[in-house]
C-alpha cells in the first residue's frame, strides 16, 4: 500500500513470504527463470528479462548500490521502479537495515511533512500522540521516495536540507535530530522540464540527480515479453490452481505487438486474467477486442518517414478513415488523436476522395526485416 512502512533485510528476503499482490510480483521477479533461451539476469537480484536496455539499467544498479550516493530512478508507471530501488538496497552494505518507502503522490499535502519528518504530540490539530517520520524510521538504512515529482514546492527546501545535512526537526519540536539515511527516489515525470517551468526546485533536482537510472518501457524491450509471460503464467497458475500447458503462438504474437502503456504491471494483470479465464490448459488472448487488430508494418525501407506514412495510412484505411473514438486509427496506433492529426499534416496525409486510395510504395508494406511503430 502507498502508506505502508516496510522493513527488509537480507535474511528476511530469503524466508518471508509477501502478503500483497504487489509484493508477490516483486519477489516473484526475483526468481531466476529461463525465457526461450534467455536467462533472466543470472547472479543478480533477479529481474525477468535479458534485453540490452534492461541489462544496461541493471549494470548501473550494480555500480551505484555499494555507495551511499543518491539514486534517481526514472521511468514510466509500471516499469518496476520500486523493484529496482529494493535491489539497490538489497545488494548494498545497508541491506541489514530498514528499507522504508513512501509514495509522495498518495499522501495529502497537509500530512506529507508529518509523514516525512514526524511530529510531536499537539503539534497540530489531531496530533494526539508523538509520531516518528519516515526519515527517522530509515536511519542507517534506505528511504525510497516514490513519485518524488509530486513533492510540493513549499516542502522541497526541508527535503533538500535533510539530504544535504542529514538532520531535521519533527513538527512541533525544536530538537535537531541527526540521521544516516541513503536516499533513493523515483519518478515518472520529467523533472528537468519541471525545473524549467519552475514547478520543481533546481537545487533539489541536482541533489537528487546524482546517479540517474533510466528504466526502459516494456515496448522498448519486447524481446523480454515471452520470458515475462512464461513467468507470470507459471506464477498465477500455481496461485490460482490452473496449470497452463500451451500458450498459442497467435496469443504470444499479440502480446509482443501490443504497445503496453501500463508496462510490466499491465502485463502482469492481463496474464492473471487470462489464467483465470483459461480452459483445458490453454492460455487465451487477454487483450481487449479493440487491440486485436494491431497495426504493424514490416518494412525494409530507405527512410523512417516512408514507414511512418505507410503505417498511418494502413491504420486509417483499417478504421475507415475514422481518426478518434474507440475504433479510430489513433487507438489502433496507440497515440492521441491530436498526435495523429499532427503527424498526418506533417506527412501530407489527407482523406482521399470517394473511390480513391492513397498510393503507398509496395516495398514499404511488403519487404520484411524490421517492424516500425509510430
User: For residue 97, what pLDDT is reported?
Assistant: 97
Q: Look at residue 368 and tell me whether its pLDDT is greater than 60.
A: no
Q: Phi, psi (5° rounding) for residue 316?
A: -65, -45
> Has residue 7 got a pLDDT over 60?
no
Cα 132 off chain centre by: 30
Predicted local distance difference test score (pLDDT) of residue 210:
95
- For residues 313 and 42, the model is more confident at 313
**Percent of the chain, pLDDT > 90?**
53
What pLDDT, on a 0 to 100 scale, did the predictor assign at position 133?
92
Nearest to 318 by CA among 290, 342, 344: 290
pLDDT the model gives residue 30: 36
Instruction: Give the bridge partners for 38, in sequence order.
Output: 35
Q: Could you identify the residue written with the cell 530507405?
A: 302
Residue 262 has pLDDT above 80, yes or no: yes
More confident of the two residues 33 and 260:
260
Is the pLDDT reported for residue 311 higher than 90?
A: no
What would the pLDDT profile of 203-251 be if each residue is shown by its tens digit? 999 999 999 999 999 989 989 999 999 999 999 999 999 989 999 999 9
Q: Model pTM?
A: 0.67
Tens-digit pLDDT profile for residues 35-85 = 333 444 444 555 888 899 999 999 999 999 999 999 999 999 999 999 999
> Cβ(262)–Cβ(218) under 8 Å?
no
C-alpha grid cell, residue 150: 509530486
End-to-end CA distance of the chain: 36
If you average pLDDT over residues 181-202, what whole number do you get?
96
Q: Where are the alpha helices (DSSP H) in the chain?
A: 10-15, 21-28, 52-64, 81-90, 109-117, 134-137, 156-165, 191-196, 202-208, 225-240, 249-257, 263-277, 304-318, 329-333, 337-347, 362-366
What local confidence, expressed as pLDDT, does residue 264 receive? 93
| Res 127 pLDDT > 90 | no
pLDDT tens for residues 99-109?
A: 999 999 999 88
Residue 176 in this model has a pLDDT that exceeds 60: yes
CA distance 142 to 179: 11
**Beta-strand pair 142-146/182-187:** parallel
What is the rounded CA–CA span in Å between residue 214 and residue 96?
26
The pLDDT mean for the chain works out to 80
Strand order from edge to edge, sheet including 99-103: 99-103, 142-146, 182-187, 71-74, 211-214
Give 138-157 pLDDT, tens digit per residue: 999 999 999 999 999 999 99
**pLDDT for 349:** 83
Longest CA–CA span in the chain (Å) reads: 80
Residue 26 in contact with residue 114, Cβ under 8 Å? no
Question: Is residue 147 within 8 Å of 208, Cβ to Cβ?
Answer: no
> Which of these ranges, 24-38, 238-252, 313-327, 339-353, has the smallest mean pLDDT?
24-38
Amino acid at each position: 500500500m502507498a502508506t505502508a512502512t516496510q522493513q527488509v533485510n537480507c535474511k528476511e528476503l530469503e524466508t518471508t513470504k509477501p502478503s500483497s499482490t504487489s509484493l508477490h510480483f516483486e519477489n516473484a521477479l526475483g526468481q531466476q527463470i529461463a525465457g526461450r533461451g534467455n536467462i533472466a539476469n543470472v547472479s543478480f537480484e533477479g529481474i525477468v528479462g535479458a534485453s540490452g536496455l534492461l541489462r544496461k539499467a541493471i549494470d548501473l544498479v550494480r555500480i551505484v548500490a555499494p555507495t551511499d550516493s543518491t539514486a534517481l530512478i526514472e521511468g514510466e508507471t509500471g516499469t518496476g521502479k520500486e523493484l529496482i530501488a529494493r535491489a539497490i538496497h538489497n545488494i548494498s552494505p545497508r541491506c541489514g537495515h530498514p528499507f522504508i518507502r513512501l509514495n509522495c503522490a498518495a499522501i495529502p499535502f497537509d500530512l506529507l511533512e508529518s509523514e516525512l519528518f514526524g511530529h510531536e504530540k499537539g503539534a497540530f490539530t489531531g496530533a494526539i500522540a508523538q509520531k516518528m517520520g519516515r526519515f527517522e524510521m530509515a536511519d542507517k538504512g534506505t528511504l525510497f521516495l516514490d513519485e518524488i515529482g509530486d513533492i510540493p514546492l513549499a516542502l522541497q527546501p526541508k527535503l533538500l536540507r535533510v539530504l544535504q545535512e542529514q538532520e531535521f526537526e519533527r513538527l512541533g519540536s525544536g530538537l535537531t535530530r541527526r540521521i544516516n539515511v541513503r536516499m533513493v527516489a523515483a519518478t515518472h515525470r520529467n523533472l528537468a522540464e519541471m525545473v524549467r517551468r519552475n514547478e520543481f526546485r533546481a537545487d533539489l533536482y541536482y541533489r537528487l540527480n546524482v546517479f540517474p537510472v533510466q528504466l526502459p518501457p516494456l515496448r522498448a524491450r519486447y524481446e523480454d515479453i515471452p520470458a515475462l509471460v512464461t513467468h507470470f503464467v507459471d506464477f498465477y497458475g500455481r496461485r490460482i490452481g490452473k496449470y497452463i500447458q500451451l500458450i498459442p503462438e497467435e496469443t504470444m504474437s499479440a502480446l509482443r505487438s501490443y504497445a503496453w502503456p501500463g508496462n510490466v504491471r499491465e502485463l502482469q494483470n492481463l496474464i492473471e486474467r487470462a489464467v483465470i479465464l483459461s480452459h483445458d490448459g490453454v492460455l487465451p488472448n487477454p487483450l481487449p477486442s479493440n487491440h486485436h487488430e494491431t497495426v504493424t508494418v514490416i518494412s525494409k525501407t530507405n527512410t523512417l518517414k516512408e514507414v511512418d506514412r505507410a503505417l498511418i495510412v494502413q491504420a486509417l484505411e483499417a478504421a475507415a478513415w475514422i481518426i478518434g473514438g474507440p475504433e479510430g486509427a489513433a487507438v489502433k496506433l496507440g497515440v492521441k488523436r491530436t498526435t495523429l492529426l499532427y503527424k498526418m499534416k506533417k506527412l501530407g496525409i489527407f482523406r482521399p476522395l470517394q473511390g480513391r486510395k492513397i498510393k503507398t510504395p509496395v516495398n514499404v508494406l511488403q519487404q520484411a526485416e524490421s517492424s516500425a511503430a509510430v
